[in-house]
Homo-oligomer: A and B are copies of this chain.
């Protein structure tokens, strides 16, 4: 029973995140989720108070998982290693589930996010802000506002992963490495090179 229930919960979460990623929150209906999760529509309301609750739980869980992954050994790394770590987290997390894509796509002022979800975005932003500040202090990363640096890396990553999801490109080890370098090049301080 517990396992059956928990399985239904997971199925609903899985179905929801994939549909929200594909179609967005507002274009996804409860019957669509129910069908993809192979449960009745009523069942969804046994686990979630409302569609809005569902999306917030989903969002919070996804950002939570991402932050936990990110936190592991993060502070002990050098700036460049830290960047590699962030990139790996993004890649790995996106591989595991659509969660990463879902929260990258969600704008922080999305009408369906509640206060808790917004708070968690701030938390994640803070973590990344700390990291970028360290990089900037060390003269390794461009002295741009952290939210801009985050926007560059996550924005690029998001758009690329949309291509993966639509089947336009395949993400292999080589591409992965090169993309990481692209993103790094975007934000790192190219101090001694004459730039053109």
- In this complex, the member of A160, A178, A186 whose beta carbon has the largest number of chain B beta carbons within 10 angstroms is A186
Residues of B within 8 A of A186 (CB): 152, 156, 182-183, 185-186
Residues of B within 8 A of A144 (CB): 175, 178-179, 182
* A196, closest chain B residue (CB): B80
Q: Does A168 contact B (CB under 8 A)?
A: yes
CA distance A9 to B163 in the complex (A): 35
Beta-carbon contact of A157 and B160 below 8 Å: no
CA distance A190 to B182 in the complex (A): 10
Which segment, of A23-31, A33-41, A86-94, faces chain B?
Answer: A23-31
- Count the copies: 4
Beta-carbon contact of B155 and A23 below 8 Å: no
Residues facing B in A67-111 (CB within 8 A) are 80, 107-109, 111
Beta-carbon contact of A111 and B27 below 8 Å: yes
CA distance A91 to B160 in the complex (A): 21
Residues facing B in A1-40 (CB within 8 A) are 22-27
Q: Does A118 contact B (CB under 8 A)?
A: no
* A186, closest chain B residue (CB): B186
Beta-carbon contact of A169 and B148 below 8 Å: yes
- In this complex, the member of A150, A159, A190 whose beta carbon has the largest number of chain B beta carbons within 10 angstroms is A159
* A151, closest chain B residue (CB): B159
Residues of B within 8 A of A175 (CB): 144, 148
List 7 extra interface pairs beyond A147-B168, A148-B175, A190-B193, CB under 8 A.
A109-B166, A144-B182, A148-B163, A148-B179, A155-B160, A185-B185, A185-B188
